[in-house]
Structure 1
Amino acid sequence: MDALLELANEASVSSHRDAMFAGAPINTSEGQPALHIALRAPSTHKIVVDGIDVVKEVQRVRHLMADFATGVRNGKIVGATGKQFTHIINVGIGGSDLGPALVWDALSQILTPSLHCSFVSNIDPVDVEKVLEQHDAQHTLVVLCSKTFSTAETLSNGRIIQQWLAASVGEAGVAQHCAVVSVDPQRATAAGIAFAHSFDIWPWVGGRYSVASAVNLANIVAFGSNVFDDFLSGMCAVDEHFVETPLAKNIPVMMGLIGVWNRSILGRETQAVVPYSTALRLFAPYLQQLIMESNGKQISSDNVAVATQTSPVVWGSIGTNSQHAFMQMLHQGTSVVPVDLIGFAKTQATHGDAHDSLMANMFAQAQALAFGAESTEPQRAMPGNRASTVLMANELSAQTLGALIALYEHSVFVQGCVWGINSFDQWGVELGKKLTQNISQQIAQGAPSSDQDASTSQLLQWYLKHQ
């Protein structure tokens, strides 16, 4: 660990961290701060960007969200026909979906929401149509999340849902059922999205870091603002630990450095995440975006090729399901995969003995990975010496969930510092969007363009022929 800590010091992790918390434009390629930490900062803190105290702005929006949530929950804010909202549909993709969906799936296992939430993300029309089949438009609130309202998936699904609403409450009533979350809500209007309620986010919050913002509005309404406050307090506690604790005892720093060791020194290409909690079944997909979109890069912040391997491929599932799916490979396969195992000492479930068995399974997997098993029969032998990191908490709560997310956020930041990359841009995502626009135009025209590459041209011709 001493060598890894020396590496962290050489990479100036502490000074980069301090610059992030001070609001410096550490997202250099976009000239932006990365101030997701301001979203959960105490109201007494002050972070000034371009002459504006962003903490004060965040607090203003939090108060607006709390008032809105209270109004919906107590029936003072209702739909166009005067009926109380009982269901929420969250429309977004990437961080505007993965974060809220994770929070809903986790907290609805341990708390009783006042409204039911559903999530629509994919542009596949089957996704949105199946969700709409389960809802009564007159009782449905729709939350549409997009920083710029230029995201194709959100616009497509938003328009389909608004047509569905109009068929039930009339064109004039659609807006009363819709809230938008955006950097500039008027862009939603320009895109043809009607809404009566809007909540701000800011350019300095990346989508994959936005779960502490108004992007989580659906859950704030469903569970209440007090639960959201608890969620943010967990994130804030980890922020404070990250800033105040020496590197050698700093949990996000240690996690980040272990990740660097596994990926860059040992050459481990993938990382598995296995929560022993059904409530965290969406945690691995959430981390896929957080880790791979942040650090899946080959060019440094100085615009030169990196000298080592960066982000691992992240995957996983819940325990004990994973033991009947892929743990065989982790124990005896030719690829060595570091594993994060996550568990809780307490459960809110009635059958505590089953929870004991669940945790026993997790401890057994960590033991088996570490020490393996000898056998005179080669096919029964397990080599061991396979790394796992075990994360334990007292129990799953809104506060614990927030802390867990912040822990991984900061460990990703530490890795980005060591690798010398910008963890806050995503130009690989932008290229796909640009190419999709061009190909969509060719589909609408009924033929590939003359300058299209041969492979894509053949695919388009086959698709158009078989529609």
Structure 2
Amino acid sequence: MPRKEPVALLQTKLNELIFDWSYQFLTPAELEAFAAKRLPASFNAQRDALMCGKFQNVSENREVSHVLSRGERSVLRQGSDSRFAQLVRKLRSGNWLGATGKPITDIVNIGVGGSDLGPLMTSFALKEFASDIQKHSVNTHFVSSMDGGQLYAVLPIVNPETTVFVVASKSFGTLDTFANVNTVKVWVNEHFAPINKTEVDWFEHHVLGISANPKRMTEMGIPPAHQLTFDQSVGGRFSMWSAIGLAIATTCGVRVFERLLEGAQAMDKHFASAPLTENIPMLMALCGVYNREERGINNVAILPYDGRFRHLPSYLQQLDMESNGKQCTATGEAIKYPTGPLIWGGFGPNGQHAFFQHLHQGYDSFAADFIMVLKRKAPGFSPMVQESLADQQELSVANCLAHRKLMAYGSEDGSARNFYPGNHPNNLLAVEELTPESFGAIIAAYEHKVFTQGLIWGLNSFDQPGVELGKKIAENTLAAIQGNSSESFDPSTDRFITLAKS
């Protein structure tokens, strides 16, 4: 890609969110011509179908309705009278009592993939907006890893008598999740046995279930009053807006969760109606496809310059790569053209002392999304501390702008040591201040970007068959490790199975 000066200041805005694509080195006319060539003729109709929950996930024979989770099918559609809101307020008020009559102080969210990444990311990002009128505080913890490492860290710091375990699983059958659940059962039963509290007792007081499969929640022993459901038509990686977002609401409060949904809904309306060169998700999608196809760039670095976005790169890995990392069309035909890029990245200020060396002077091409918050209030601190924190935010903004420009344009002073090749196209998503609304808008924008790119590449962005074979092989391998199978695999695998058994 030849380096050239920016054609113009290219920005569009939705409420607090500014999207700048000046460093993509494309004119609006060039992008419109590319869109005319690459957008399918049915794009508007398919976008309209997504907006009303009628878009078809053809391989799983179901509709796609996550957008409705922000509106007509919201868990808050009944306001404070919804079961979701009632459970959240009961937990956050201290009125939820455990089996021994003590108020709940901790919530452990047990889930994996979409049942973990979205709630974890958003709870962390928006925790400071939690209502301070609650005199009772509840700590939220997240457990996802099948190896038990996270449980190993969480169990010693919580009390079984004051902890609610939220089992979050769309199918309510994910092996990773229930490996953690089984260990929790052993741990809690050991605690309650000496005081004559049975599993039925503590399930009644200490377990909540969230799933699209209420039958399995009931079979597990979770009381119907402690079950929250969402539609099968809501994909796991698109589910943080649904009942899966319970941990967000217990961390931040019902009103913050409501504001999050409002921000996402504003982006939905923008995506549905804004003209192409003012439409944030479509600009993100088309620039991304252009970089993938015309420039041969196979990866996008996600570089947030605000610590509250620390978990965004991991979240977007699932959202994008599980959706569009595919080599067959929505109708099952093999394809041989490039589709979704690799998504990676990390917290920008830390990255400057780690992988930015390679970004600036390494050999490989990449595109990047920078995320920036211009200002940050610091309620609860003295004026002098607030001023110092504001200075730090300015430092972060300056570094974000500087590295973004250097990656795009590069620099040279005649020596190889000080040569920065540049030529790395990038976007900037910026807000004046982070709010639940602006955070919701950013995440929804990425969802619609992925949807648009999936349509351009002819994919079904709402299935994920790519790990199923690995899971099947893992089941067979586990049977061999546990001595329930004599199956042989290959010399390397067989050797490690022997070591695992010894």
Question: TM-score of the superposition, structure 1-length normalised?
Answer: 0.92
Q: Deviation of residue 459 (structure 1)?
A: 3.2
Amino acid at match of 1:362: C
Q: Deviation of residue 132 (structure 1)?
A: 0.6
Matched with 2:210 is 181
Q: Deviation of residue 128 (structure 1)?
A: 0.8
CA distance in 2, matches of 1:33, 1:331: 44
Equivalent residues of 1:345, 1:392 under 8 A apart: yes
Q: Summarize the Cα distance change of 1:238–1:184 in structure 2 as closer, same or farther, 3 Å threshold.
A: same
Matched with 1:34 is 64
Matched with 2:395 is 357
Q: Summarize the Cα distance change of 1:56–1:220 in structure 2 as closer, same or farther, 3 Å threshold.
A: closer
CA distance in 1, matches of 2:335, 2:325: 11
Amino acid at match of 2:176: E
Amino acid at match of 1:211: M
Amino acid at match of 1:85: I
Matched with 1:426 is 464
**Residue 92 (1) aligns with residue 122 (2):** no
Amino acid at match of 1:22: C
CA distance in 2, matches of 1:210, 1:80: 31
Equivalent of 2:100, from 59, 62, 81? 81
CA distance in 1, matches of 2:256, 2:74: 21
**Residue 413 (1) aligns with residue 436 (2):** no
Matched with 2:174 is 151
Q: Summarize the Cα distance change of 1:166–1:459 in structure 2 as closer, same or farther, 3 Å threshold.
A: closer
Matched with 2:259 is 230
- 144-153 or 190-199, which deviates more: 190-199
Matched with 1:461 is 498
Equivalent residues of 2:53, 2:67 under 8 A apart: no
Structure 2 counterparts to residues 127-206 of structure 1, below 5 A:
127-169=150-192, 170-171=197-198, 172-175=200-203, 176-191=205-220, 197-206=226-235
CA distance in 2, matches of 1:104, 1:262: 32
**Larger RCO (CA under 8 A, 6+ residues apart):** 2
Q: Which runs of 5+ in 1 are unaligned?
A: 44-54
Matched with 1:16 is 46
Give the number of aligned pairs: 452
Q: Deviation of residue 454 (structure 1)?
A: 4.8
Amino acid at match of 1:229: E
Matched with 1:52 is none
Q: Deviation of residue 191 (structure 1)?
A: 4.7
Question: TM-score of the superposition, structure 2-length normalised?
Answer: 0.86
CA distance in 2, matches of 1:408, 1:154: 26
Q: Deviation of residue 189 (structure 1)?
A: 4.0
Q: Summarize the Cα distance change of 1:273–1:308 in structure 2 as closer, same or farther, 3 Å threshold.
A: same
| CA deviation string 1:325-368 (max 9, x = no partner) | 11111111111111100001211242211111110000001111
Matched with 1:67 is 86
Taking only aligned residues, the RMSD between alpha carbons, in angstroms, comes to 2.1
Amino acid at match of 2:329: S
Matched with 1:123 is 146
| CA deviation string 1:4-39 (max 9, x = no partner) | 221344353222211222333521100111111010
Q: Summarize the Cα distance change of 1:437–1:446 in structure 2 as closer, same or farther, 3 Å threshold.
A: closer
**Residue 248 (1) aligns with residue 277 (2):** yes
**Residue 279 (1) aligns with residue 297 (2):** no
Q: Deviation of residue 252 (structure 1)?
A: 0.2
CA distance in 1, matches of 2:128, 2:191: 32
Q: Deviation of residue 453 (structure 1)?
A: 4.6
Q: Deviation of residue 3 (structure 1)?
A: 2.3
SS in 2 for 1:174: helix
Matched with 1:4 is 34
- 243-252 or 210-219, which deviates more: 243-252
Structure 2 counterparts to residues 317-466 of structure 1, below 5 A:
317-349=346-378, 350=386, 351-445=389-483, 448-450=486-488, 452-465=489-502
CA distance in 2, matches of 1:235, 1:8: 26
Q: Deviation of residue 130 (structure 1)?
A: 1.5
Q: Summarize the Cα distance change of 1:76–1:165 in structure 2 as closer, same or farther, 3 Å threshold.
A: same
Q: Summarize the Cα distance change of 1:291–1:384 in structure 2 as closer, same or farther, 3 Å threshold.
A: same
Equivalent residues of 1:115, 1:222 under 8 A apart: yes
SS in 2 for 1:67: helix
Equivalent residues of 1:238, 1:407 under 8 A apart: yes
SS in 1 for 2:64: coil
Equivalent residues of 2:105, 2:139 under 8 A apart: yes
Q: Deviation of residue 307 (structure 1)?
A: 4.1
Q: Deviation of residue 435 (structure 1)?
A: 2.1
CA distance in 2, matches of 1:216, 1:109: 17
Equivalent residues of 1:120, 1:128 under 8 A apart: yes
Amino acid at match of 1:173: D
- 455-464 or 120-129, which deviates more: 455-464
Structure 2 counterparts to residues 103-122 of structure 1, below 5 A:
103-111=122-130, 114-122=137-145
The percentage of aligned residue pairs carrying the same residue is: 37
| CA deviation string 1:53-81 (max 9, x = no partner) | xx388736981100111122223322111
Amino acid at match of 2:184: I
Structure 2 counterparts to residues 45-60 of structure 1, below 5 A:
55=73, 59=77
Q: Which runs of 5+ in 2 are unaligned?
A: 1-30, 379-385
CA distance in 2, matches of 1:221, 1:80: 20
